[in-house]
Structure 1
Amino acid sequence: MRNVVEKLAVWTGWLGRAALWLSGIGLVLMTAFVFAQVFYRYVLGSSLFWAEPASVILMGWFIFLGAAVGIREGYHLSFDVLLFVLPEKVRLTFFSISDLVVAAFGFGMLKYGWELADKMAATTISGLGVSGAFRFVPVAAGGALLMIFCAERILRRLAGLSTSRFGDDHDAAELEGNAVTGKGN
């Protein structure tokens, strides 16, 4: 099981990096679009009709993809003072319960985000001329990533491996490096 989980960690590592890159590109594009809109409006006395709706869609993408990566890496907010005094086995059980709750939330995001996208598919976003589904697809995509990353974290614990950089015991980068080079286990 350990080898399978290590290979999964490599795959989800690539998936996480891709999501983070897409988030970063979306943030940069959104910033450029907003700057261009302000420049056109206040300097040129004109307006870019597509800048605001495009910026809002990009913001949805980088928020939901970035949040999912934050869950994978353990950089999300948590209140874990009690966990520092608990035995390791109990602490890891609580981490897994937390991951199950987050995965359930991700399932809700996937299910209802997809339903909203489906209901809005026939509409058009003014200014862009694309389907209204584009407003809600990031919610569904973020939910799918949350479920994948939470499942990975739970499987890592079951295999006796670290889940991330936030203190379980090992570093996720070390785990991914071991899976690539064949070291470990």
Structure 2
Amino acid sequence: MRETMTRVAQVTGAMARAALWISGAGLVLMTVLIACQVFWRYVLNDSISWTEPGSVMIMGWFIFLGAAVGIREGYHLSFDILVHLVSDQVRDVMRTLSDLVVIAFGGGMVVYGAELALNAAPNVLPSLGISGAFDFLPLVAGGLLVVLFSVERIARRLAGLPTAAFGEAVAED
């Protein structure tokens, strides 16, 4: 099981790196779009209608993809005082319970994000000319990654492999 989980960790590690690159590119693109909007509005006394909704949509992608990677890498918010006072076995159980709660949350993101996307699909975003479903796709994609990365954390723990926790160094996959 350790060898299988090591291979799985390599695949999910590559997915996490890709998500971070997409998030970083999105952050840069959003910054450029906002700078263009400011230039057009205040220097050229005109306005580009699609930069603001486009930037908000891009922001959704880098927020949800980045959050999912944060969960995989152990950088998500948590209340860790108690886990430092208990034995390693209890600590692992507590972290697994935490991962299960995160899986439920990620599942909710997928289910309700998909429902929102389906309900918004017939609507066209006027400034972008695309379906309103695109506003909710980052929620679904981020939720899928949250679930996948949380399941991976539990499986790694069961296989005896280290999992990242906030403030602890873990060797790269």
Among all aligned residue pairs of Structure 1 and Structure 2, give the percentage whose two residues are the same amino acid: 57
Counterpart of 2:52 in structure 1 is 52
**Amino acid of the structure 1 residue aligned with 2:70:** G
Map 1:1-185 → 2, pairs under 5 A:
1-164=1-164, 166=166, 171-173=170-172, 176=173
Please tell me whether the aligned partners of residues 163 and 172 of structure 1 are also in contact (alpha carbons under 8 angstroms).
Answer: no
Question: 1: CA distance between counterparts of 2:139 and 2:92?
Answer: 29
- Cα distance in 2 for residues equivalent to 1:167 and 1:157: 18
Report how far residue 119 of structure 1 moved.
1.0
User: For each residue in 1:82-122, what CA deviation from the matched residue of structure 2 results, as whole angstroms up to 9, or x when unmatched?
Assistant: 11110000001100000000010000000110111111111
Cα distance in 1, alignment partners of residues 166 and 23 from structure 2: 22
SS at match of 2:162: coil
Structure 1 residue 126: Cα displacement: 1.5
- What are structure 1's unaligned runs of at least 5 residues? 177-185
Q: 2:37–2:51: 8 Å Cα contact kept in structure 1? A: yes
1:48 partner SS: coil
Q: Is the 8 A contact 1:72 1:153 kept in 2?
A: yes
Q: Which residue identity is paired with 1:54?
A: G
Q: Distance in 2 between matches of 1:61 and 1:28?
A: 12
Distance 1:157 1:115 in 2: 33
TM-superposed deviation, 1:165: 5.4
Regions of 4+ moved over 2 Å: 165-168
Contact 2:76–2:166 (8 Å) recurs in 1:
no
Residues paired across the two proteins, number: 173
Distance in 1 separating the partners of 2:15 and 2:7:
13
Which string of whole-angstrom CA distances, capped at 9 and with x for unpartnered residues, describes residues 139-171 of structure 1? 000000000000000000001110125467x72
The secondary structure found in structure 1 opposite 2:128 is coil
Contact 1:37 1:51 in 2 (8 A): yes
